[in-house]
Structure 1
């Protein structure tokens, strides 16, 4: 009997917000590509164009296929554009894996004057973005397809300085549970949330990373350290594999044991 593998040969994947080399999205994209998937590296802002190209080159050097697509995911038009470019770029009629990783946060304690535009952007990107992407991808996703929503420990623990971000991730967890039901029996898809804890990425204000991560690092059980993009990527790799066919609708903390 042949040994089980984590091969994703022949699979097509989209990882939204994967255009920064030090980001969680890039770590996920690398894990999928090195195991045979054809991966779309997605970025939104023109300022990260070169970084996205670097990520794609890293994926190719790891043995995977990769294309780069600039597209916002916080509008239905942007989501549909990303799906269209994926199908055309890989000359395929199917998308097997969607990782809703793109997200944003703004530090705004409730006692400070709110920036209404920033607050709206958090929910537009973190909640409606995944909604639009799932809507656009599902018609092209065959049975056995995998949808992974990147959540956060903040969805369970809250966060006084970025309460809107925490609330948006709680909403995403609810969507995960609902979509698992809606897309499971009818279409044969699984939907799960992966919740990182502290991972040093561009999400944190420059120079404040260690200070802001310290409280949650102190709660880790696996090791006394922050997580890495590779930690998250390897967990997603397990969940998108065929062997995870009976796991759906779950909040899976990939955070060293900060949440349960």
Structure 2
């Protein structure tokens, strides 16, 4: 059948851009104010990674829209996201109108996630030394390394070393520095760093590098089974990761908006 004249081109861009921040809280930046479409996208995310996103805390960011929605539309969006399996807990900081909307919705305002988007969109992350990966056999075709001076955000001093295993329900956070874990990160555990993350054991939980928006941070691990990995909020969950990478020594890095994962051996 011939395509109807004047039919709009299909829109493949997501209506909402989801990023993962500290303590596993997700930030949903609304790009297109289509309640049904946003709910469908969230429902799909929950279905693909139910352990991660089911009843997952989400901050709603209207900063990607030309104007704020009215309170009735915002309430409809919150309810639709709840029905999709997410848990909206706050609005991202904005202007005085945004603050008034938060009051009407009975939600708090959080500022940190807006700062992450602004830094990733325009500002260059402060320099840090290029991280060294855990010992592994040289790769035949190793992916490009970050340039020297690419990793440390802030001046937090030496990297944090976690000698013991990080068990389910535990969290380790390296503020303004790299994190090195000498043992395993168990399923349900979470390791976070404002710099890069080096894991010398198995990674079965979540690893979030560049938590304050440093897109040059990386993740290295000896045995990859991660529930989720993220760099500067860009994430992948286990269901999106090729099976051939599981159990391997890998590194994770960001190029533009694309999160890459490749073997080290």
TM-score by length of 1: 0.32
Higher alpha-carbon Rg: 2
Of structures 1 and 2, the one scoring higher in RCO (CA 8 A, sep 6+) is 1
TM-score of the pair, normalised by structure 2: 0.31
More helix by proportion, 1 or 2?
1
Identify the structure with the greater strand proportion.
Answer: 2
